[in-house]
């Protein structure tokens, strides 16, 4: 079947572009590969792959609740596809999130460093735990025909508590994802900023998640020429329409309660995106499912599910991108590597979906030979590319050619800075300004952009112990200095800087014969193989004894730490003006 082979090859091409974008992001960093900025720190990347991605995977916990908790056995044929979609949706979202953060290798830290005051901490834990739940729910499918069938039986018997835990976790993190946007009332456009964001997020996610299961089921039947289980799909569509109707009512009531109905007709360009979001995400799917003729027609259900999926994606992009553009300091449009990586991760998940449904009984309700009338069934598969061997070239050769062309084209289209990194401009740090004649209070504005904070320096010094406390903040002094200011060493806003003058040291210590005084002669002469400054400058750096070096960052007692936290809460550093 040409349609299946062509779809796979398209997914391989998109995945190749995504893979090149991933390499570029890891080599060049976020600044060189994305159009993100301080005012648009998320952009398309995180919103599409994380916020929208996990929402479209919500059909897993919705179907698990319907079948396992409420015992609606009619919908059991759709449960395995729904769980698989949840597994791949959450897995790909976690993978994309690791690439989105500045230090991908630090993604494990929420597991160890707990911050229970943070919505992101709760989201991170719920996503990781629910991803684990989807693995446990999917494992029996893989294990049931292997030597691990005993474990599959054990997981089947424990399915009810696993499902209940999954429902709880998924509900928690979807509402918390919405809660993330409650912290920016001055940034997010009034059409989308509402205290109801957590409720709207979970309701819309459930409605669109069920539509995603319908879309994947219809796509499977069309690609592989299998019969469609229309009674199950129609029932799911009606349930989804009820949920989407509730979502539509909540959106309208929310606008009315907040007095924002007039904003819809104010002529602002954001209103057009809002209308498009409602039309795609709710009005069109509800209308198509409400009509009996389209509800029972595969084409009608397909259009409704595609519309619902696009509507949810647009809603999340509106909340995380469109609604912030008006208050952003700079315009934002995603870069080519950003777009390629986002779509590439989705394509990789789709390839994994194709592989799994071809090799495991995901759509177990459809017999293997139940092809649609006029369909010839699946042709012989190529063992590598899993592409059909039709046309003038074998599947393996054609796939190899496509990958080579795609990788070369992607590498050529992405800018050189994406692979080599972004050169940072020099931005010298300036000395703090005195807010009073005695400089008891300082105005910290290192880049002189008139945005800074008032820092009560003398008050800090008194609370921390007077003159003896300087080294708690001024952790390293220049030779001959008692408490060097931060700007003397941290001399640039963006680039690393060093106060070490190598030429002066060579001249003072005897030119070329001085090397062994600081470096081990058996090792390369570099920064890593050199004496620490305090070994020679113990006195003129204000260090009285070697143990003073170890005391530069004293660890306060627990009581003292709590006292400092209380001081920090009581004191506010006010911005200028």
User: Nearest CA to 140 among 157, 119, 122, 156?
Assistant: 156
Which letter, b or e, does each residue of 14-47 get, where b requires 16 or more Cβ atoms within 10 Å of its Cβ?
Answer: bbbbbbbbbbbbeebebbbbbbbeeebebbbbbb
Q: How confident is the model at residue 360 (pLDDT cuts 50, 70, 90)?
A: confident
Measured CA distances, 264 to 193, 272, 281, 315 (Å): 14, 8, 17, 15
Q: Which of 16-20, 234-238, 380-384, 522-526 has the lowest mean pLDDT?
A: 380-384
Q: Which of 8-17, 84-93, 230-239, 515-524 has the lowest mean pLDDT?
A: 515-524
Q: Is the pLDDT of residue 300 over 60?
A: yes
Q: How confident is the model at residue 5 (pLDDT cuts 50, 70, 90)?
A: low
Dihedral sign of CA atoms 516, 521, 524, 527 in order: negative
DSSP per-residue codes, 254-300: HHHHTT-HHHHTS--HHHHHHHHHHIIIIIHHHHHHHSHHHHTSHHH
Opening angle at CA 323, ends 256 and 97, nearest 5: 125
State how far the Cα of 81 lies from the Cα of 68, in Å rounded to an integer. Answer: 15
User: Tell me, what's the pLDDT at 541?
Assistant: 65
Per-residue pLDDT of 421-433, as tens digits, reads 777 778 888 888 8
User: Tell me, what's the pLDDT at 252?
Assistant: 96
Beta bridge partners of 428: 492
Q: Are 218 and 158 in contact (CB under 8 A)?
A: no
Measured CA distances, 57 to 45, 60, 76, 174, 533 (Å): 17, 6, 17, 11, 55
Per-residue pLDDT of 170-187, as tens digits, reads 888 788 888 889 988 989
Per-residue pLDDT of 42-69, as tens digits, reads 888 889 988 999 999 999 889 988 898 8
Mean of the pLDDT values across residues 77-91? 92
State how far the Cα of 10 lies from the Cα of 16, in Å rounded to an integer. Answer: 10
Q: Which of 142-151, 247-256, 565-574 has the lowest mean pLDDT?
A: 565-574
User: Tell me, what's the pLDDT at 152?
Assistant: 75
List the domains of the chain with CATH numbers.
Answer: 35-334 (1.20.1630.10), 476-552 (no CATH)
Beta bridge partners of 371: 226
Q: Where are the beta strands (DSSP E) in 370-449?
A: 433-434, 442-444
User: Tell me, what's the pLDDT at 550?
Assistant: 42
Mean of the pLDDT values across residues 483-488? 83
Per-residue pLDDT of 437-461, as tens digits, reads 888 999 988 888 888 889 999 999 8
Q: How confident is the model at residue 385 (pLDDT cuts 50, 70, 90)?
A: very low
- Name the pTM for this structure: 0.75
Measured CA distances, 408 to 15, 338, 468 (Å): 13, 17, 61
Q: Is the pLDDT of residue 138 over 90?
A: no
For tokens 């446990």, the residue is 136
Mean of the pLDDT values across residues 71-92? 91
Strands 433-434 and 453-455: unpaired
Considering 102-106, 311-315, 454-458, the range whose residues carry the highest mean pLDDT is 311-315
Q: Are 350 and 7 in contact (CB under 8 A)?
A: no
Q: Percentage of residues in the chain with pLDDT exceeding 70?
A: 86
């Amino acid at each position: 079947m040409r349609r299946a082979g062509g779809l796979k090859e398209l997914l391989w091409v998109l995945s190749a572009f995504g893979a090149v974008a991933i390499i570029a992001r890891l080599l060049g960093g976020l600044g060189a590969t994305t159009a993100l900025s301080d005012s648009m720190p998320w952009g398309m990347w995180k919103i599409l792959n994380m916020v929208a991605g996990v929402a479209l995977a919500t059909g897993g916990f919705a179907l698990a609740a319907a079948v396992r908790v409420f015992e609606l056995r009619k919908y059991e044929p759709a449960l395995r596809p729904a769980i698989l979609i949840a597994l791949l949706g959450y897995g790909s979202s976690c993978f994309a999130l690791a690439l989105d953060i500045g230090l991908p290798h630090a993604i494990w830290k929420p597991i160890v460093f707990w911050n229970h005051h943070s919505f992101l901490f709760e989201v991170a834990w719920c996503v990781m735990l629910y991803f684990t739940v989807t693995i446990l729910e999917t494992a029996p499918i893989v294990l049931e025909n292997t030597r691990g069938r005993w474990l599959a039986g054990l997981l089947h018997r424990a399915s009810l508590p696993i499902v209940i835990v999954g429902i709880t976790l998924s509900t928690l993190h979807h509402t918390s994802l919405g809660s993330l946007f409650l912290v920016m009332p001055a940034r997010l456009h009034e059409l989308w900023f509402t205290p109801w964001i957590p409720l709207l997020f979970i309701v819309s996610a459930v409605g669109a998640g069920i539509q995603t299961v319908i879309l994947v089921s219809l796509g499977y039947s069309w690609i592989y020429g299998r019969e469609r289980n229309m009674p199950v799909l129609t029932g799911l569509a009606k349930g989804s329409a009820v949920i989407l109707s509730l979502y539509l009512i909540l959106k309208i009531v929310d606008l009315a309660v907040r007095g924002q109905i007039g904003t819809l007709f104010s002529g602002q360009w954001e209103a057009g995106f809002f209308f498009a979001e409602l039309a795609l995400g709710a009005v069109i799917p509800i209308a198509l499912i409400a009509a009996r003729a389209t509800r029972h027609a595969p084409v009608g259900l397909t259009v409704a599910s595609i519309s619902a999926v696009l509507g949810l994606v647009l809603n999340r992009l509106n909340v995380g991108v469109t609604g912030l553009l008006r208050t952003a300091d700079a315009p934002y449009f995603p870069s080519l590597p950003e777009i390629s990586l986002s779509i590439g991760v989705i394509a990789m998940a789709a390839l994994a979906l194709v592989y799994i449904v071809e090799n495991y009984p995901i759509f177990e309700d459809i017999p293997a030979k139940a092809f649609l009338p006029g369909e010839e069934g699946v042709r012989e598969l190529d063992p590598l590319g899993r592409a059909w061997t039709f046309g003038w070239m074998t599947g393996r050769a054609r796939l190899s050619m496509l990958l080579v062309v795609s990788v070369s084209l992607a590498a050529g289209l992405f800018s050189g800075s994406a692979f080599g990194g972004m050169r940072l401009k020099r931005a010298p740090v300036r000395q703090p300004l005195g807010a009073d004649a005695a400089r008891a209070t300082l105005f910290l504005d290192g880049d002189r952009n008139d945005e800074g904070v008032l820092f009560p320096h003398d008050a800090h010094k008194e609370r921390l112990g007077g003159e003896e406390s300087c080294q708690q903040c001024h952790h390293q002094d220049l030779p001959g200095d008692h408490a060097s200011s931060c700007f003397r060493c941290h001399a640039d806003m963006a680039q690393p800087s060093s106060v070490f003058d190598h030429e002066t040291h060579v001249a003072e210590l005897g030119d070329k014969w001085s090397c062994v005084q600081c470096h081990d002669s058996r090792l390369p002469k570099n920064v890593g193989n050199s004496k620490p400054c305090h070994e020679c400058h113990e006195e003129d750096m204000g260090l009285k004894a070697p143990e003073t070096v170890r005391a530069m960052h004293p660890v306060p007692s627990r009581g003292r730490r709590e006292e400092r936290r209380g001081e920090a809460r009581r004191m506010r550093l006010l911005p200028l003006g």
